[in-house]
Amino acid sequence: MAFNSDFNESKLLHELSQGSESAFTSLYNQYKNGVYATALKITKSKILAEEVVQDVFLKIWQNHENLADIANFENYLFIISRNHIFDTLKKMARDANLLSDVSYKNTSSSDTDSAIKDDQYNVILNQIVEQLPPQQQKVYKMAKLEGLSHQKIGEDLGISTDTVKKHMAQALKFVRHRIAPYMNMFMTMLLFFKA
């Protein structure tokens, strides 16, 4: 990537340390693709890589007062990104192990693989559903948990069937996107416990 001829890193870092949002935006635009590429290479997930970019630059902003003395911002950014990615992966592995232990203790050996998958999937799915906007969350729960028809949901919530369908489509799209990064983890765990 060709560097902008007007790009003066040390000047921008100094301005950012003083709280300049425009300096932050310039640095973000300069380096976001590099952080994304690094995260994608390690996580193999576009969604997780996008979250890493947001989290890393949030950390940069939160720590902006200490950036004026950074000699090589690109290296600094790479280290923060790498550490954040590995912390995220370790947390996911810890969560997976914790859920596996609980599931393993509470089931007979013949049911272990499906119970681990079901328990873990449900915990993560519930966390994702809780992130939906309130109306989408209501529609999703009424359809999936209570088994209500779109027409019945519309009547209960005082909205049209088309609006229910729209909320449901948006909720399903969101849930599918958010659950995707965990699918490889589920499969790896199942193969591990079957071995």
Position 40 pLDDT exceeds 80: yes
Q: Which two tokens stand for residue 177?
A: 């996107």
All domains in the chain, ordered by first residue: 9-90 (1.10.1740.10), 107-194 (1.10.10.10)
> How far does CA 179 lie from the centroid of its chain?
9
Would the pLDDT of 33 be above 90?
yes
- Condensed to tens digits (0 to 9), the pLDDT of residues 110-164 reads 454 455 455 666 777 777 888 888 898 899 889 888 888 889 999 999 999 899 9
- 49-79 pLDDT, tens digit per residue, is 888 888 889 888 888 888 888 888 888 888 8
As a whole number, the mean pLDDT across the chain is 76
| Dist CA 94 CA 100 (whole Å) | 10
Q: What is the pLDDT of residue 189?
A: 46
**Mean pLDDT across the stretch 100-117?**
48
Using alpha carbons, select from 64, 27, 56, 24 the residue that is nearest to residue 39: 56
**Signed CA dihedral, 71, 72, 77, 83: sign only:** negative
Residue 33: CB atoms within 10 A of its CB come to 11
- Burial of residue 19 (CB within 10 Å: 0-12, 13-18, 19+) is exposed
Q: Would you state the pLDDT for residue 155?
A: 92
Predicted TM-score (pTM) of the model is 0.48
Q: Write out the DSSP string of 91-118.
A: HHHHHHHHHHHHHHHTS-GGGHHHHHHH
- Which has more pLDDT, 13 or 98? 13
From CA 191, how far away is CA 195, in angstroms rounded? 6
Q: Could you give the CA distance from residue 46 to residue 64 in angstroms, rounded to a whole number?
A: 27
Average pLDDT of the residues in 75-95: 80
Please tell me the chain's helix, strand, coil percentages from 3-state DSSP, rounded to the nearest 5. 80, 0, 20
Between 53 and 95, whose confidence is greater? 53
Q: What is the mean pLDDT of residues 76-104?
A: 71
Mean pLDDT on 93-119: 52
Burial of 161 (0-12, 13-18, 19+ CB in 10 A): middle
